[in-house]
Amino acid sequence: MPTTPPGVLLRVVSPRDAPALSRLQIRNREHLLSGAPLRTEQWMSVQGQREVIAQGLAELRADRQVPLVIEADGELVGRLTLSGVTRGALQSAALGYWVSEHATGRGIATAAVRRIVDIAFGPLRLHRLQAEVLVGNDASVRVLEKNGFVQFGLAPQYLEVGGSWGDFRMFQLINGAWGAEGA
């Protein structure tokens, strides 16, 4: 497994992150279309980001989401979210992440995913993580594969990205340490 590059940190998103996230969303609008839905101007605005953050924090309190920001060397460079946290017999969550274009290629996303795997399979006591990647987004595939995720399927026309329905590769990672203590 990869090691974390110095200076990469995950932390729970905060309302004070709204201005920086708004700037990143606007600056990275085209870059983010490699795997995210089209976003409205309102959604990308500071107020829109405040609303996204408030919703994420409410979902965190309800144990349905873990909304995080990714920082590298003290600079906010992206987001990482565990969503759809499901307890009971499934003990699973969906992983989504993005890193600003200026921060790509430095191992930041790989390190952030490694850290969330440790959290998900440690304190959160999850059994499985799932992630979906738009066909052709090879950089994101490499991030997942470096962290032990394996492809288990293909979902045609799975999500509307960039204005059209995209085919997505489906990946998962199973907690190999899961046992009686995780039940």
For 10-36, the pLDDT digits (tens) are 999 999 999 999 998 888 777 776 667
Is residue 179 over pLDDT 90? no
Whether the pTM exceeds 0.75: the reply is yes
Is residue 183 over pLDDT 50? no
| Residue range 61-117, pLDDT digits in tens | 999 999 999 999 999 999 999 999 999 999 999 999 999 988 889 999 999 999 999
pLDDT score, position 2: 42
Is residue 148 over pLDDT 70? yes
Mapping DSSP onto H, E and C, the string for the chain reads CCCCCCCEEEEECCHHHHHHHHHHHHHCHHHHCCCCCCCCHHHHCHHHHHHHHHHHHHHHHCCCCEEEEEEECCEEEEEEEEEEEECCCCCEEEEEEEECHHHCCCCHHHHHHHHHHHHHHCCCCCCEEEEEEECCCHHHHHHHHHCCCEEEEEEEEEEEECCEEEEEEEEEEECCCCCHHHC
* Bridge partner list, 20: none
Is residue 180 over pLDDT 60? no
Domain ranges for the chain, please list them.
8-127
Question: Could you tell me which residue, 38 or 116, shows the higher pLDDT?
Answer: 116
Is residue 127 over pLDDT 80? yes
pLDDT band of residue 43 (cuts 50, 70, 90) is confident
Asked if the 8-127 domain carries CATH number 3.40.630.30, the reply is yes
pLDDT score, position 44: 76
